[in-house]
Amino acid sequence: MSGRPQALPFVIVGVFAILLVGGIVLSLSNAPPLAEQQLHIAASATLNASSFTVVDTNSVTAPGAAAPTAGPSSGTVVVHVLYQAPDAVEESEVGPDGQSGAVILIGARRFRESASQWTELPPVPGLVNQVVKTILSPLQASSSAGTVTRDGDLYRFVPTSPGRFLLSILGVRPSQLSSARFTAEVHGEFLTHESISALVGRQRLTVDLAFSDIGSAPSVEAPPTSSAAPGAGSGLLPTP
């Protein structure tokens, strides 16, 4: 009888050890693959950053052909985006006529620039939320993606709802698309590049996103009062 109380603590320790090991095995068996975890963490870090810049390159190419050089007469459009959480965006691009243009959204205020002249436009309820949602949607897709494989810094992934995601990014119904590709690159703790593409007939549509200045981008500011003339235009901020 005297030996039993002394043995009891060892029995309890043994039981806890079994439960602990069992819990570790169970958690490992339910854990996502390493590549999936790495992509999710990096995409979430960029997604939740206080600010970033992104160069959004949209191109149309024939299979096997090199991507055209960006320019007014080419098959490529490049949009520069400056994002500052939670509701400030500045976008600029060169139009088909070679003229540059820019738009700024800061909360409910919006401005449009043309020929070096800024115009403040009437507010559109919910516009800033729509634009921010569009900008962040590729990062959200990669932060929750499944079927992730890794080759060095390059990750190939499949979004949770690929058809709906392609429609929102490429603007084409899923039934018209084939050979979709989703890739991302991770450097350090952040996702720094993402590419979405698919074939439509004999042409490949590609949206290429290059993220930089993550967490340290310049602030989005309203244009000087002297250059922002009041206007009653109804133009909307183009989405990337």
pLDDT digits (tens, 9 = 90+) for 43-91: 999 999 999 999 999 999 886 655 554 444 457 899 999 999 999 999 9
Residue ranges with strand state E in 62-189: 76-84, 88-94, 100-106, 109-114, 117-121, 146-151, 154-158, 178-187
75, 59 contact by CB (below 8 A)? yes
Q: Give the list of residues 6+ apart from residue 10 with CB closer than 8 angstroms, or none.
A: none
Q: Give the list of residues 6+ apart from residue 98 with CB closer than 8 angstroms, or none.
A: 72
Structure tokens at 199: 């074939």
Q: Give the pLDDT band (50/70/90) at residue 114.
A: confident
What's the confidence (pLDDT) of residue 48? 98
What's the confidence (pLDDT) of residue 65? 57
Rg (CA), the chain: 25
Q: Which residue has the tokens 């703790």?
A: 189
Q: What are the backbone angles phi and psi of residue 60, rounded to the nearest 5°?
A: -130, 120
> Which is higher by pLDDT, 116 or 171?
171
